Structure 1
Amino acid sequence: MYKEESSNPSSVLSADLWEKAHTKKNDEPINEAFATKVVNNTPSFEGIEYKLFRVDKEDIVAEGTWLTDDPNAICDCVKLGPSACKVWVTNALEPSAKVWKPSNGLRTMEQAMTRSIAWPSDHIIKMGGASGR
């Protein structure tokens, strides 16, 4: 959706604009290459599931799947950096909780649903296990 078409222009993400620019009016991909490489290329998140917490381990704000802790990995166009991990948010337990590194209009866990975000490595708990990776 374009910002001019939205009732709340500040909620339109750059990813939304990019997707809109690469689809036809009927929401079909603009060409076969785009369909194959982007639309039909749903990532597989078969990693380990974690709970994300803020200050203490009792303050769980979301659940997600761990993707990587490679400091050179890219998350929202920025290198992950040290002491961080990239997680795919699957459940916002506290939707209004702030994300660790806001970017591209992404500010809350509710907005982070079904997206990857950066999160401090020492602020995750392996589901059914000990904290950390």
Structure 2
Amino acid sequence: MGVILDSSILIAAERKRFDLARFLSAHPRELFFITTITASELLHGCARAGDAGIRERRTKFVEDVLQDYAVLPFNLAEAREHAQLWADLEIKGTLIGERDLLIASIAKATGHSLATLNRNEFARIPGLALINVGAFTLP
């Protein structure tokens, strides 16, 4: 299977706080993906940038990401996974953010692991394989 790059990783990479190139090199046999949810989060970051220079830099970065990685959709299989996870976490009182839950649902439904800087949030999802990314963060 492959690895889904969470928006937290990509945002940190764009801000020079995560060494994405080194992370990718450390996993040469993996296929990397993003989700439609991550694409939306990244595009939202471009749209809300108040400074033209920041907007231009972000847009270039995001367009490169959208070109470099296959984008996994949220379809019926993912919706079923999402509904079950949502109910399970709600019953336990351990809900995570809406968009994170959507991303986790895509990862679980497709069998991919997830690379994220929000490990504590995603660790609440039973059976979700998380990639350790701590060694690739930058000061």
Structure (1 or 2) with the greater helix fraction? 2
Give TM-score, length-normalised by structure 1: 0.31
Higher Rg of the two aligned structures: 1
Query: If the length of structure 2 is used for normalisation, what is the TM-score?
Result: 0.30
Bigger relative contact order, structure 1 or 2 (CA pairs below 8 A, ≥6 apart):
2
Larger proportion of strand = 1
